[in-house]
Structure formats: structure tokens, C-alpha cells
Chains A and B, each alone.
Chain A
Amino acid sequence: MSRHLKQSSRRRFLVGATGVMGAAGVVGVATPFVCSLAPNEKAKQVRAPIKVDVSKIEVGAMVTVAWNGLPIWILKRDKQSLLSLKKHEALLADPDSIDSIQPKNTKNTFRSVRSDIAVYIGLCTHLGCTPKYRPELSPIDLGENWHGGFFCPCHGSKFDLAGRVYKNVPAPTNLEIPPYRFIDNDLLEIGYREESEGV
């Protein structure tokens, strides 16, 4: 075959051109199939924000609601635990939330808009399990240095009550915070986005 092809440069050119056109065709046909797998417009639509009344949540308790197929945690923290947040900063990987994802107005020590109410996306930043809420101090299974927080059963990541990740655990960053605002004193709206801000 190749012996015959060598004979004429015209034939070689035609074979080459056909090959190039064929390759372009393959890429052209593959494109819709590859793109078809990406999230479609319907999946991308940000679903409507949800409202939650936080006045019913007891101090120290946490409720979980679903928003956009994600578990959202709403936690009411007491004064004591808020005060202790500063103390163990040396043990944290990203105490100032530099590398973590959160709306601008929650980039503070408490990682919240209102200091007592914390709102997080309840998925571990390691591989997306839901960590367990473990508010108690120094329980037997978690040891002396446990100041209350979240423990991920999947691969042992630890977060404090501000959702900040500890050092030397598999999770790289603090728990993500969804966009939210207080419409009213105790009425929380999760998923609210300002026009200009694409979080």
C-alpha cells in the first residue's frame, strides 16, 4: 500500500487532505457528545433561595436544611464557645480563611454575619462527606484537644465551631459558607445573591 502511495505526490496530498478532514470530522462529532455530559442549563439554574426562622433554634443546637441539593447547617453558638475560638488558632490550617470559600462579610474570626448564628455548607472540603456535629469538649474518642466542632467520619478531618479546619487532616480548607442574609431579626435567607456579586 505505502509503496503505491509513494509513487505520486498528488495521491499523497489527497490522502493527507482526506486524513485531515477526517480528523476534523471526528473532533466535530465528538464535541457535542463531550459537551452533552456537562451540567445542562436546567441543572445550572440556581434554585430559589430558602428562608429559615432561627429564633426556634436552641443555643448550642444545629439544624440541617436542604438547599440546591446541598445540606446547609445552621448553628446557634453560645458566648463561651465564641470566646474560645481565638484560643486554639495555632492548631488551625487556615485560621483567617484566606484559602477558603465564603462570602466577604463572613471572612472573620466567627465566620458569620451575626456572631452567634453560623451557616455552613455541610460537606467536608476533603471529599464531600457530611461531618458530624460534636459540640462537647474533650470526648474520649476525639481526645484532650477537642474544643467542640465537626468531625468527618470518612477520613478523620476536624473543624472547629467556626468551621475552620485543623492542621494535619486530609481536608485542605475551612467549611464553605453559602451566600445568606438576615431579612429580619431572626429570619434567615439562604442562597440570596446580590446582583453584582458572583459567589
Chain B
Amino acid sequence: MFNALMNWFDQRLPILSFLRKHLSCYFVPKNLNFLYVFGIFALVMCFSQLITGIWLAMSYTPTTSEAFESIQYIMRDVNFGWLIRHMHTTGASFLFAILYVHIFKAMLYGSYQKPRELVWLFGWLLFALFSAEAFTGYLLPWGQMSYWGAQVITSLFEVIPFVGDSIAQWVRGDYTVSEITLKRFFALHVIGFPVLIGLLLFLHISSLHHVGSNNPKGVDIALKLDGKGKPLDAIPFHPYYTVKDLFYVLLMLGLFAAVVLYVPDFWGYFIESDNALPANILSTPDHIAPLWYFAPFYSILRAVTYPLFGIEARFWGAMLMYLSIFLLALLPWLDRSPVKSLRYKGKVSKFMFGLFVISFVSLGVCGVMAMNATALFIAQVSSLIYFSYFLLMPWFTKFEQCQNVPDRV
């Protein structure tokens, strides 16, 4: 009876065939490690953000006179409002932490290389969209940090010579951040960006399923097939990886629950304490820093203090910040190495990647600190390393001695 019904459906809309193709007959390398669950983690957190976001939007008011009040209302009066809000704020930080590990994994195993360039590019666009999503969302509580953060970041457009002021005003819809800005950020945060993110998630995962997952050894499993054309070193995604992923997802959600219930502000790193004060257009908080996940890029922005070619320092700072994100997109073409995984790349690659990770972390640490001479110096050195990693990559990956990649995993 049930089978007959399913068949009836499948002849009209191939749901079963679709599930078979992407689960029980989707072949994945058998040596995928823990780092490969972070893509699933990201999907789970996206879903959580969507649900908690819809619930928050039911009680939130996007006006300058009521935005801050409505957050207090959610926290105190709405049933379980505190829980839903803290899930949303913690979820944003979790999502970025997960994305950073996910990107780290892709860089470690050379997953951006041929034939996964599109997977990488769609992923990169997702990162850009999530940054926009997080930035617009952060203005909504209309606290001190919301207001001044948006003020500083929208002012970044002003640094463009000649047309900068008009662009910044076009983004804000006003001369300073105002209710007009708040309302458009709300619209983008709840409808605009999420729709685009959904579209890109679809593209990211379809392009991945078309070429298949890479693996920690960077071995191309499609080269060794059994008689039936199935890769020898692959196992079906379902049930093997569905069970493994489910197990880790539960662990991750346990950690998530612990943070949401015990340290929702994560000592000021997930919710900044100055944001408990309503926006005051007359006075900036003493220490303004972005949330931790933007800190590395913010550090690069602050690291440039000298004008060059007659153009002011802040222009170069902003350009370098955009460049630092853009260079990531070029990675598939900067890496000329014949091998994918760092395990088989040469010593120079390993050394440079190590330096790169250290520089990124120290940029992050400097970015949340108040500006002082030491932090500035560390940020400048780290920026230099960050950019040399990308700009020197075409040479060191081409000329270094790599190890032999085994032909089986």
C-alpha cells in the first residue's frame, strides 16, 4: 500500500529517485574525518537561525523609538523570548565559528582546486552574504554598539574618492544612520539576504554533489572504479555518513545549549555589554570593537595608518580589507600545486599555511583589543603575512618539491 503510494508519487515527481541519488546512492570517500561534519553543522545552524529569526520578527518593532524597547519586551515579557533571542545571538557566533573551521578544512585539503572551484566560489559568496546578514542584524537592537558599528562601517564607503559620500548616503538613505537605515536593514535582514542565502546554499550543495567531496588525502577516488562503475574507496552517504553526522550534530547542539543557557553573552564576545545601552547619537562608547568574527578584517582596516600616493590612509585601509576577503575567492587560481592536500605539499606550503593561520588569529585578537601601539604593530605584521600568503602562493606552490600522492585512500 505504502509502496504503491510512493510509486504513484515518484512517477509524477521523482522524490524517491532524488533521495536515492543524493543519499543512499551518493558515494562519498570513506576517509572523511571530523572536519567534514562542519558543513552539516552550518546547515543545522542556518535552520536554527531561520526559525528563531521568524519568532523574533513577530515581536520586534523596527523604529528608532521602539526597537530597543521591543528587545527588552522580548527578553522580559514574551514567553521564552529570552531563550529564542539568545539562541539567535549565540547561533550567529556559532555559525561563523563553524564557517571558519569549514573554510580552514577546505584550505587544508585543497578542496577549492579543480574540479571544485565553483563549490568554493559559491561558498565564498555565502560567507560574504552571511557577513551582510550579520551586519544588518546587528543594527536591529538599536543599542550603542549597533548604532556606532553601523555608523563606522557605512562610513567606509565615504573613503572612495569623489563619489564616496553619495554612496554612503545611498546605503543609509540618510546623512547619518537613522530610522530609514534601520528599516531597510530590517527588510534586508529578514527577507532580502535570507532568500539569496537559500539560493546559494542550493548552488553550493548541487555543485558539490555534481563533482563529489574531496578528502583529507586529496586522492581523486573517481580514478579507481569497481566493475559496476562505483569508486572503490567510497561508501554511500546514507547510512554511513548520516549516522556519523547525526552523532556529531547532537554533540554540537549540546555545546550550543550549554552556551545559550549558561553564558549567552559569552563574556561580552557574543553580545557586547555596551549594547545594553540604547543608541545615543551624541556619544560613542569608549571602546568600540566589532563582534569577534569580523575582528580579523577590522584589524586590517585599522592597520593602515600612512597615506600613500596622495590618497588618505583610511582609503587604503578599506581597500586592503576588501582585498583580504576578495583574495580568498581567487585561491583556486593562486594555488598552482599539482597536489591538493597539504599532507603531500612541500615544506614551504606547510610553513606558509601555518604562518597564515597564526596571522589570521592574531589579527582577530588585535581586532577586539583597544587601539594601542603594540596591537597596531602586531596587526601590521600579521596583515603583511596574510597578504604575502596569497600573493606568493603562485610561486611557492609551483616550485616546491611535493610528495607522491598514493592512488588509494
Q: Which residues of A contact B (CB under 8 A)?
A: 37-40, 43, 64, 66, 68-71, 122, 126-132, 153-156, 168-172
Interchain CB contact under 8 A, A129 and B151: yes
Instruction: Report the stretch among B25-33, B94-102, B230-238, B282-290 that lies at the interface.
Output: B282-290
Q: How far is the CB of B169 from chain A (nearest CB, A)?
A: 5
| B173 sits at the interface (CB 8 A) | yes
Residues of B within 8 A of A127 (CB): 151-153, 155-156, 158, 314
Is the CB of B180 closer than 8 A to any CB of chain A? yes
Is B162 part of the binding interface, using a Cβ–Cβ cutoff of 8 Å?
Answer: no
Q: CB-nearest residue of chain B relative to A99?
A: B312
B305 touches A169 (CB 8 A): yes
| Minimum C-beta distance from B320 to chain A (A) | 13
Contact A38 B169 (CB under 8 A): yes
Alpha-carbon gap, A118 to B62, bound state (A): 37
Number of A-B contacts (CB under 8 A): 91
Contact of B155 among A43, A70, A128 (CB under 8 A): A128
How many angstroms between the C-alpha atoms of A100 and B368 in the bound complex? 31
Decide if B77 is an interface residue (CB 8 Å cutoff): no
In the complex, besides A71-B283, A153-B288, A172-B312, 7 extra interface pairs with C-beta distance below 8 angstroms are A40-B180, A43-B174, A69-B176, A70-B175, A130-B283, A169-B305, A172-B313
Secondary structure class of chain A's binding surface, majority of residues: loop
* B-side contacts of A37, CB under 8 Å: 170-171, 173, 184
Check A170/B302 contact, CB under 8 A, given A153-B284, A153-B370.
Answer: yes
- A132 to B371 CA separation, bound complex (whole angstroms): 14
Q: Residue B110 at the A interface, CB < 8 A?
A: no
Top 8 nearest A-B pairs (CB, nearest first) are A172-B312, A129-B284, A127-B155, A128-B155, A71-B282, A127-B152, A130-B284, A156-B371
Does chain A have a CB within 8 A of B61?
A: no
B132 to chain A, nearest CB (A): 15
Please measure, in the bound complex, the distance between the C-alpha atom of A71 and the C-alpha atom of B178, giving whole angstroms: 14
Return chain A residues, CB-CB under 8 Å to B306. Answer: 168
Asked if A128 contacts B302 (CB within 8 A), the reply is no
Complex CA gap A39/B302 in Å reads 29
Nearest CB to that of B370 among chain A residues? A153
**B155 and A122: CB pair below 8 A?**
no
B305 near A128 (CB under 8 angstroms)? no
Q: List 16 A-B contacts (CB under 8 A).
A: A37-B170, A37-B184, A39-B170, A66-B282, A69-B174, A70-B176, A71-B282, A127-B158, A128-B152, A129-B151, A130-B284, A132-B286, A153-B288, A154-B148, A168-B306, A172-B307
Count of interface residues, chain B, beta-carbon cutoff 8 Å? 38
Residue on A with the closest CB to B285? Answer: A153
The verdict on A38 contacting B175 (CB below 8 Å), with A172-B312, A172-B313 known, is: no
Q: Which residue of B lies closest to A172 (CB)?
A: B312
Considering only CB atoms, which chain A residue lies closest to B176 in the complex?
A69
Check A39 against B173 for contact (C-beta < 8 Å).
Answer: yes
Measured CB to CB, the nearest residue on chain A to B286 is: A153
B312-335 contact mask (Cβ, 8 Å, vs A): 1 or 0? 111001000000000000000000
Residues B282 and A64 in contact, CB atoms below 8 Å apart: yes
Q: Which residues of B contact A129 (CB under 8 A)?
A: 148, 151-152, 284, 288
Q: Which of B158-184 contact A (CB under 8 A)?
A: 158, 166, 169-176, 178, 180, 184
* Interface: B16 (CB within 8 A): no
CB distance from B192 to the nearest CB of A (A): 12
Contact (Cβ within 8 A) B175 A69: yes
B371/A155 in contact, CB under 8 A: yes
Q: Report the minimum CB–CB distance from A5 to chain B (whole Å).
A: 28
Q: Across the interface, which residues of A come within 8 angstroms of B281, CB to CB?
A: 66, 69-71
